[in-house]
Amino acid sequence: MPENSAKIAAKILLETKSILFNTQEPFQYASGNSGPVYVDCRRPLSFPAERSIIMDLAAQLLKSEVGDDNIDIIAGAETAGIPYGALIADRLNKPMIYVRKKAKGHGRMGQIEGHFEEGSTPNIVLTEDLQNFGHSKKIFIDALRNAGATVEHFFVLFDYGIRSEVKADNESMGLTQHYLCNWQDVLAVAREENYFDAETLDSVAAYLDNPEDWAATKQKESA
């Protein structure tokens, strides 16, 4: 596993514009909140050379941190985790399945697509593209465990890494999280490579330290 793998992944996310900063015109989020950062971890799929690098890093990371013998199946979470799960499974030469948010309403009525032997307890690594609050993964993990799988490891390309409650949630679910890079890695690369001016990076750092205070200050400035 390269020592600078987090830096490599962070640089790819910045150079493919999968991560954007805009402190003057903050992004509006689905939650109704706003902030100076936007993350689109589906975007790297459209860049073959960069995609290949980060998938190689992902496979190496899981071999190093989980162990090849401790991985029976790679599972992709609907929807963004599916392509990454398939690419990682291919590199590790493991079976791949994917998990729906809810059971489909026709055919086998299944929530899990793919196959593992009924009555078996395979060690499954669940993959998603990113983690912010971390709530969504419980749906997928519950489905896999209810089907008899052992799920102790969870992988994302990008982890926000700014919410202390996520660690507590992972622990309560018996999960070890693995990721290529987080906001601190991205900010470090952005400063080192001068992707943005210092004022922008300082503002983004302030937002990541306290999103609510940052948003309140912006509202006062625009009032």
Q: Is the per-residue pLDDT at 107 higher than 50?
A: no
> What pLDDT does 32 receive?
78
Q: Is the per-residue pLDDT at 105 higher than 60?
A: no
Q: Is the per-residue pLDDT at 57 higher than 50?
A: yes
> What pLDDT does 81 receive?
95
Which residue carries 């008899």 as its tokens? Answer: 148
Q: pLDDT digit string (tens) for 25-55?
A: 888 887 777 889 999 999 999 999 999 999 9
> What pLDDT does 157 receive?
96
Give the range of the structural domain holding residue 134, as residue numbers without chain letter.
5-216
Q: pLDDT-based confidence at 190, cuts 50/70/90? A: very high
Q: Are strands 112-113 and 37-39 parallel, antiparallel or unpaired?
A: unpaired
Q: How many CB atoms lie within 10 A of CB 180?
A: 23
The 10 Å CB-count burial string (b at 16+, else e) for 64-85 is eebeeeebbbbbbbbebbbbbb
The answer to whether the beta carbons of residues 41 and 130 sit under 8 Å apart is yes
| Rounded CA separation 42/18 (Å) | 8
Q: pLDDT-based confidence at 149, cuts 50/70/90? A: very high
Residue 20 pairs in a beta bridge with 38
**Number of domain units in the chain:** 1
Any domain includes 117: yes
The answer to whether the beta carbons of residues 22 and 197 sit under 8 Å apart is no
Q: Is the per-residue pLDDT at 14 higher than 90?
A: yes
pTM equals: 0.91
Any domain includes 146: yes
> What pLDDT does 106 receive?
46
Any domain includes 14: yes
Question: Residue 140 belongs to a domain with what CATH number?
Answer: 3.40.50.2020
Distances (CA, A) of 193 to 1, 24, 187: 23, 21, 10
Give helix then strand counts, H and E, for the chain: 8, 10
Nearest Cα neighbor of 9 from 184, 204, 158, 161 is 158
Q: Is the per-residue pLDDT at 165 higher than 90?
A: no
What's the chain's average pLDDT? Answer: 90
Any domain includes 129: yes
Any domain includes 221: no
Q: pLDDT digit string (tens) for 109-139?
A: 478 999 888 778 999 999 999 988 767 888 9
Q: Is the per-residue pLDDT at 215 higher than 90?
A: no
Which residue carries 């514009």 as its tokens? Answer: 17
Long-range contacts of 64-67 (CB under 8 A, 24+ apart): 64/1, 65/176, 65/178, 66/125, 66/153, 66/176, 66/178
Highest-confidence range of 16-25, 51-60, 99-108, 134-143, by mean pLDDT? Answer: 51-60
